[in-house]
Structure 1
Amino acid sequence: MNEKITILTPSYNRAHTLPNLYKSLLLQDNQNFEWLIVDDGSKDNTKELVNSFCKDEKIKITYLFQKNGGKHSAINTGIKKIENSITFIVDSDDVLTEDAISSIYKYWPIVVEKNLIGISFLRGYSVNKAIGDEFPKQMMIENFNKIRYKSSFNWGDKAEVVSTLKLRETPFPIYEGENFMSEGVVWKQLARKGDSLLVSQIIYITEYLEDGLTKSGRRLLLNNPLGAMLNSKLAMTKEFEMKVRIKNTMLYVAYGFFAKKTAREIVIGSNQNILTMAFLPFGWGIYRFWRKKYEI
């Protein structure tokens, strides 16, 4: 692999936002990167738009089209294609600061030297306002699972730059009939392979659109319960503090019932039988409440 960055952008019907991301890429103070767009079955003019970008011949762009399978599926597709050693996942409705690429190159030697999984930079609502808490230090090495799931820390969305090889070793599971899965499924498993470099610097600006995945909230998880179960199950192990384990156990149970699992199947599948049995009634109560609230 080349010690170079690939910006991976999964996209679905985002022809109206991609030009903003494209413009921010053209403004990078370091142009040593490639842009890979995985079109997840868009029905708008995404393909024609990307072709117009390619004709500009200003940056190297690769376009892949796949049948709609969800963002997690598009990421899997992209990772298989990437030949560069560094992957930066950037959503199709967001933009980068002008120093984003140069900042990654500045800190990446530490990732290589310490055999880390990657770098977590800050995302911001603007260049001056971070999403979630800033890290305790300007630069620190920490395990994602230990800091992300501390009850006292508001993680928020971060800009994740990851080793392509490690991402390829940890693909998203694919469940038939489900087209959404939290990225936490991969990040939790990656954290079990090593620590990350955390840098308190905003390099990524996010706007939460009304039709975006983040805004879709709980209903999206309830409509994709197997992936939601897995995400919760991964936070039920002893590496997490007890508050986190209990919360995710109840969520795991609730999503299990939405997935039409029996209580026995939910308990056995958890690999945390005692914990799951203890909080099974609470998870059932959450399931009943959500089923009524969301009319599912």
Structure 2
Amino acid sequence: MKFTVFTPTFNRKELLKKLYKSLQKQSYKDFEWLIVDDGSTDGTKEKVKEFLCEKKLDIKYYFKENGGKQRAYNFATEKANGELFICLDSDDEYVENGLETILKYWKKYEKNTDIAGMGYLSTYPNGEVIGSSFPEKEMISTQFKIYNKYRVKGDKGLMFRTEIIKKYKFPVFEDEKFITEAVVYNRICEKYKMVYVNEKIEIKEYQEDGLTAKYNNLLLRNPKGQALYHNEINSQKLTLKQKILNNAVYYKFCKVAGYKFRKIFQESKSKLFLILAIPIGEFMWKKVKL
């Protein structure tokens, strides 16, 4: 099997129905649809049973206790049978030749073991590109460089070799249900590169109650994961300004998480810049408290 299309879902019964119809229209058919239901109570299970009875797609459905997208993602990578792995949220869909277009480019790179996967453009339902396009029509880089060196903006669609994404699990904290996906992507880019193409493949329809809505509050409710993310960014090539600002934000989230200074300092991957950033971090922390 070529693709695993993974959809994490929580109380998105109607959106799943829309995505189900969209996947049926894909011009390339060799894929499984792996649905991980993160504790839905809106009849999602019954709706998926209807899909299964129709036998129009190869569907694998799993129900688990609500634990957030990162736990659902880790679970899905263990269950995936496809050679290539795609996360397609319940409010997303692909253009009808999406998988076919991905394969068209991927055939040029699939034997290059230094490349972990592919990135492509996401659009709003009206076709407008979310954020900005890549600087070249087709290029090789890393997720970190795309956003920090080339200043690309906005969400992008991503595909990974399943054998690689299986090795990079999302960190989980017992009392938190969210961590930015960039934690995993940055870890991958320490060893692998990605192919990026300026093709409109993914269509996103953001929901008012989705993860993207009220994003800052979401991060503050999950500070341990966010502190880890900013601490690990210190392993990337940063400018002086970026190092200070990043460590200030790291300090802020550590304080929100209730960490003592000893722990913050001992676990820091950039102790010098942490010390320099503390005044800014304290200001950020006090602003959060207010």
- Aligned residues of 1:127 and 1:202 also touching (Cα < 8 A): no
- Aligned residues of 1:249 and 1:283 also touching (Cα < 8 A): yes
Q: Which residue does the alignment assign to 2:213?
A: 215
Q: CA deviation at 1:61?
A: 0.3
Is 1:136 aligned to residue 135 of structure 2? yes
The partner residue of 1:248 within 246, 249, 264 is 246
What is the alpha-carbon distance in structure 1 between the residues aligned to residue 169 and residue 117 of structure 2?
16
Q: Which residue does the alignment assign to 1:177?
A: 175
- Aligned residues of 1:225 and 1:256 also touching (Cα < 8 A): yes
Change (3 A) 1:139 1:190: same
- Aligned residues of 1:145 and 1:240 also touching (Cα < 8 A): no
Any residues of structure 2 matched to 1:11-160 within 5 Å, and which? 11-115=9-113, 116-126=115-125, 128-150=127-149, 153-160=151-158
Over aligned residue pairs, what C-alpha RMSD do you find?
Answer: 1.3
Greater CA drift, 235-244 or 179-188 = 235-244
Q: TM-score, normalised by structure 1?
A: 0.94
Q: CA deviation at 1:147?
A: 1.9
What is the alpha-carbon distance in structure 2 between the residues aligned to residue 144 and residue 174 of structure 1?
21
Q: CA deviation at 1:264?
A: 2.4
The partner residue of 2:271 within 259, 270, 273 is 273
Change (3 A) 1:208 1:22: same
Matched position secondary structure for 1:202: strand
What is the alpha-carbon distance in structure 1 between the residues aligned to residue 210 and residue 82 of structure 2?
28
Q: CA deviation at 1:238?
A: 4.4
What is the alpha-carbon distance in structure 1 between the residues aligned to residue 239 and residue 145 of structure 2?
9
Q: CA deviation at 1:127?
A: 6.0
What is the alpha-carbon distance in structure 2 between the residues aligned to residue 127 and residue 234 of structure 1?
36
Aligned pair count reads: 289
Any residues of structure 2 matched to 1:229-244 within 5 Å, and which? 229-244=227-242
Greater CA drift, 15-24 or 240-249 = 240-249
What is the alpha-carbon distance in structure 1 between the residues aligned to residue 121 and residue 207 of structure 2?
19
Q: Which residue does the alignment assign to 1:206?
A: 204
Q: Which residue does the alignment assign to 1:262?
A: 260
Q: CA deviation at 1:109?
A: 2.1
Matched position secondary structure for 2:12: coil
Q: TM-score, normalised by structure 2?
A: 0.96
- Aligned residues of 1:175 and 1:227 also touching (Cα < 8 A): yes
Greater CA drift, 105-114 or 139-148 = 105-114
| Matched-pair identity in % | 35
Q: CA deviation at 1:51?
A: 0.8
What is the alpha-carbon distance in structure 2 between the residues aligned to residue 216 and residue 16 of structure 1?
22
Greater CA drift, 125-134 or 23-32 = 125-134
Which digits, 9 at most, give the CA deviation of each residue in 1:14-55, with x for residues without a partner?
112111111110111111111000001111111011111111
- Aligned residues of 2:6 and 2:76 also touching (Cα < 8 A): yes
Change (3 A) 1:196 1:241: farther
Runs (5+) with no aligned partner, structure 2? none
What is the alpha-carbon distance in structure 2 between the residues aligned to residue 154 and residue 234 of structure 1?
21
Q: CA deviation at 1:181?
A: 0.7
Give the AA of the match of 2:275: M
Matched position secondary structure for 2:212: helix
Give the AA of the match of 1:42: S
Which digits, 9 at most, give the CA deviation of each residue in 1:80-106, with x for residues without a partner?
011222001000111111011101211
- Aligned residues of 2:234 and 2:269 also touching (Cα < 8 A): no
